[in-house]
């Protein structure tokens, strides 16, 4: 089961991803650099996760995150792509992204079409929305991790 190693706290700068989230899928994502991905615990498997996210220590919002290779796109590099359930004006490149991953939704799967992929992601968002209403998981929204200063050396980009 992929829920081992959770909760997992991650922090880093938002970097340019593959450019598909907003443009092709209509579901914008904030991407971590490869070194943040490499620091994932070994027992956090590829798949779709959910939790909380904050940009530049601002408001904390619900999020879903894909961790893996994105088989639909046949990526050669493992990624952590975070969809924050909030609309932000403009792009967020260079901003500090803090996330706490609190749960696992499903394993990474391939989809037959772009439409199926979009339906799958929207289903993940709906499921995360409901699951994050659980009081134990909602408590992470106010975790000190989202407000306390972090050593700049931890903010890799």
What is the tens place of the pLDDT at every residue in 129-139? 999 999 999 99
Decide if 156 is inside a domain: no
Provide mean pLDDT across the span 7-31.
81
pTM of the model: 0.87
Q: Looking at 24, 81, 96, 115, which residue is catalytic?
A: 81
Domain count, the chain: 1
Provide mean pLDDT across the span 73-102.
87
Query: What is the pLDDT, as a whole number, of residue 77?
Result: 74
Provide mean pLDDT across the span 66-70.
84
Is it the case that residue 73 has pLDDT exceeding 70?
no
Decide if 147 is inside a domain: no
Average pLDDT, the chain: 86
Decide if 3 is inside a domain: no
Decide if 89 is inside a domain: yes
Task: Assign 50 a pLDDT band (cuts: 50, 70, 90).
Answer: very high
Is it the case that residue 59 has pLDDT exceeding 50?
yes
* Three-state SS sequence of the chain: CCCCCCCEEEEEEEECCCCCHHHHHCCCCEEECHHHHHCCCCCCCCEEEEEEEEECCCCEEEEEEEEECCCCCCCCCCEEEEEECCCCCCCCCCCEEEEEEEEEEECCCCCCCHHHHHHHHHHHHHHHHHHCCCHHHHHHHHCHHHCCCCCHHHCCC
Decide if 146 is inside a domain: no
Span of 51-60, 65-74, 116-125 with lowest mean pLDDT = 65-74
Decide if 110 is inside a domain: yes
Residue 30's domain spans which residues? 8-137
Active site residue 96: no
Is it the case that residue 151 has pLDDT exceeding 80?
no
Percent of the chain clearing pLDDT 70 (strictly above) = 85
- Which CATH number covers residue 127? 2.40.30.30
Decide if 149 is inside a domain: no
Decide if 65 is inside a domain: yes
């Amino acid at each position: 089961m992929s829920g081992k190693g959770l909760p997992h706290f991650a922090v880093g700068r938002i970097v340019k991803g593959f450019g598909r989230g907003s443009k092709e899928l209509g579901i914008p994502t904030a991407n971590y650099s490869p070194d943040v991905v490499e620091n994932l615990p070994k027992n956090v498997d590829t798949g779709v996760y959910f939790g909380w996210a904050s940009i530049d220590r601002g408001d904390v919002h619900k999020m879903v995150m894909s961790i893996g290779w994105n088989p639909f796109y046949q990526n050669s590099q493992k990624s952590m792509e975070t969809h924050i359930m909030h609309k932000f004006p403009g792009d967020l490149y260079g901003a500090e992204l803090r996330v706490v991953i609190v749960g696992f939704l499903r394993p990474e799967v391939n989809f037959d079409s772009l439409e199926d992929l979009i339906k799958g992601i929207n289903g993940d968002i709906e499921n995360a929305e409901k699951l994050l209403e659980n009081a134990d998981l909602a408590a992470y929204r106010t975790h000190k991790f989202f407000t306390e200063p972090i050593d700049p050396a931890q903010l890799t980009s």
